[in-house]
Amino acid sequence: MIKGIIFDFDGLILDTETHQYLVLQEIFSEHGSELPIIRWQQEIGTQTGFSPFKHLEEKLERKLEHQILQEKFEDKYHSILAEEKARAGVEDYIKSAKKMGLKIGLATSSTYQWVSTHLKNLNLFDYFECIQTSDDVEKVKPDPALYLQTALGLGLAVEECLVFEDSANGALAAKRAGMSCVIVPNQVTHTMDFCAVEHRLESMTDMLLKDVIEHVSSSLSNR
């Protein structure tokens, strides 16, 4: 029986990932190059230490002013995010979970400062009973630690948790933790090669939360 839901943040609640990629692609294009989506997808939902501007340097075979590029990126990226709303259906799912008496958690490979700031801007912060971030674990997704610690913080067994994810790394982390997972990919993750999950939605507006839970619970009971 599902007693709690755990959300990813970047790309799922707020589509930071698509805007991040588009702004980087704009900078690459200004230098007569491109950042292949397949290469960028490897970085989504995890932390590898990949530097897009070092990658651009290698492609151009010449030195670049990283600080100038970083400042340009951040100015454009943050100005876009300041105006961005939560993805369609997200707020309805969170409020529905609250009404249903479900526990609500968040597990992200980003920092606490990053997610808490944006959740507060979206007026969603107070709904979350447990937030686990890269500050809390040694290894981020696809390692299962973030999801295991979130379940622990919610006081739930892993089989009582339903995860919502948008990336392949995130979905893999959820499944490695022994949890059910529904994926809701965004513009830059929809072509990813996902592991086996319980369900896929193009948008949270496609199904009511109670129907998603009923679908997942039914598939689990039939195994």
Active site residue 10: yes
In the DSSP assignment, the letter for residue 85 is P
Instruction: Please identify which of the residues 10, 15, 143, 166 carries the catalytic annotation.
Output: 10
Instruction: Please identify which of the residues 8, 15, 143, 166 carries the catalytic annotation.
Output: 8
User: From CA 190, how far away is CA 148, in angstroms rounded?
Assistant: 25
Q: How many CB atoms lie within 10 A of CB 70?
A: 14
Beta bridge partners of 132: 107
Going by C-alpha positions, the residue among 134, 166, 164 that lies closest to residue 149 is 134
In the DSSP assignment, the letter for residue 152 is H
Can you tell me whether residue 37 is helix, strand or coil?
helix
Active site residue 75: no
User: From CA 216, how far away is CA 201, in angstroms rounded?
Assistant: 12
Measured over the CA atoms of residue 74, residue 188, residue 45 and residue 32, the dihedral's sign is negative
CB 16 within 8 A of CB 81: yes
CB 143 within 8 A of CB 137: yes
CB 116 within 8 A of CB 43: no
Catalytically annotated residues: 8, 10
